[in-house]
């Protein structure tokens, strides 16, 4: 599939984020993905000659919305997840579930019981943060942070490390300078957020037109302006739903705590 467009066998009833469309499904996706891969690894793979195999699952992290990409390339399974709201501290655990199912999907189940060692592509996990809250340019989350540690010196037999990269333009992460598609995407999303927060009429339409004029994803947005607007609406619905659920959980937790305190007082 050297010259083929990246196009996994997924249920297209699920809606992509703009990020997923740009790096996994669009006609320029393979070139964009290889550019991002090179930026993350300091390599110089050629998009025309490098084989890329989509291994995304028939599932989503939230409702009917794709914000994750999983590709088998250069002997690695690279999992990319985008976050536009608060970073989810449970991502290492979710990545553990995710990669286990990918291995189950791509391996021969009979070989698990053979005597010979079954070779597996090495996994890599990245979260691209694009939210409003202040967050470091780059950080790492580990599965072991969630373990109930009886001994701080214990060597954990199971570990998942997730690199978190802040792609907000003001953080000036070096990855942006080495991947033009990601940099222009970040500039575009910054324009979208500015328009929405300032309640500019037809904020998304205006952001698309402004970005085309400024040269951010011009060709992509010119081809798919209506689709991009629909994807952005889905993304903002997603973030709104998450925010509401977190607030409800907080309020329910506070209410429960107040009830328990009252019971203790009466006792």
pTM for the model:
0.81
SS3 call for 116: coil
Q: Which residue(s) pair with 77 in the sheet?
A: 72, 123
CB 183 within 8 A of CB 36: no
Q: Are 144 and 203 in contact (CB under 8 A)?
A: no
Q: How far is CA 158 from CA 34, 92, 97, 154, in A?
A: 30, 11, 13, 11
Query: What pLDDT is stored for residue 245 in this prediction?
Result: 45
250 pLDDT tier (thresholds 50, 70, 90)? very low
Confidence category of residue 256, pLDDT binned at 50, 70, 90:
low
- pLDDT, position 180: 96
User: Is a pLDDT exceeding 70 seen at residue 128?
Assistant: yes
The pLDDT, as a whole number, for residue 73 is: 96
pLDDT higher than threshold 80 for residue 226:
yes
User: Which pLDDT belongs to residue 12?
Assistant: 46
Residue 84 to residue 81: CA distance in whole angstroms:
10
pLDDT in tens, 63-107: 455 678 999 999 999 999 988 777 889 999 999 999 999 999 999
Determine the pLDDT at residue 126. 96
Q: How far apart are CA 144 and CA 30, in angstroms?
A: 34
Compute, in degrees rounded to 10, the torsion defined by CA atoms 81, 83, 87, 88. -60
Mark 59-80 as b/e (b = at least 16 C-beta within 10 Å): ebeeeebbbbbbbbbbeebbbb
258 sits in the region (left: phi over 0; alpha: psi -120 to 50; else beta) called: alpha
């Amino acid at each position: 599939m050297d010259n083929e467009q990246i196009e996994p066998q997924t249920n297209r009833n699920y809606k992509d984020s703009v990020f997923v469309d740009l790096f996994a499904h669009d006609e320029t996706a393979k070139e964009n993905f290889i550019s991002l891969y090179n930026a993350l690894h300091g390599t110089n793979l050629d998009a025309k000659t490098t084989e890329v195999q989509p291994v995304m699952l028939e599932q989503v992290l939230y409702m009917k919305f794709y914000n994750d990409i999983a590709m088998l390339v250069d002997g690695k399974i690279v999992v990319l997840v985008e976050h536009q709201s608060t970073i989810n501290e449970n991502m290492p655990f979710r990545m553990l579930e995710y990669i286990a199912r990918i291995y189950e999907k791509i391996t021969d189940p009979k070989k698990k019981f053979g005597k010979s060692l079954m070779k597996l592509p090495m996994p890599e996990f990245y979260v691209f943060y694009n939210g409003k809250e202040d967050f470091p340019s780059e950080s790492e989350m580990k599965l072991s942070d969630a373990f109930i540690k009886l001994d701080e010196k214990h060597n954990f037999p199971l570990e998942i490390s997730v690199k978190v990269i802040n792609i907000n333009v003001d953080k000036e992460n070096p990855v942006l300078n080495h991947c033009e598609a990601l940099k222009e995407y970040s500039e575009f999303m910054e324009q979208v957020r500015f328009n929405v927060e300032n309640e500019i009429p037809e904020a998304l339409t205006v952001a698309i037109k402004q970005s085309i004029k400024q040269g951010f994803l011009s060709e992509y947005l010119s081809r798919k302006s209506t689709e991009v607007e629909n994807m952005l609406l889905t993304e903002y619905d997603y973030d709104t739903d998450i925010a509401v659920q977190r607030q409800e959980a907080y309020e329910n937790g506070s209410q429960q705590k107040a009830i328990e305190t009252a019971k203790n007082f009466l006792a």
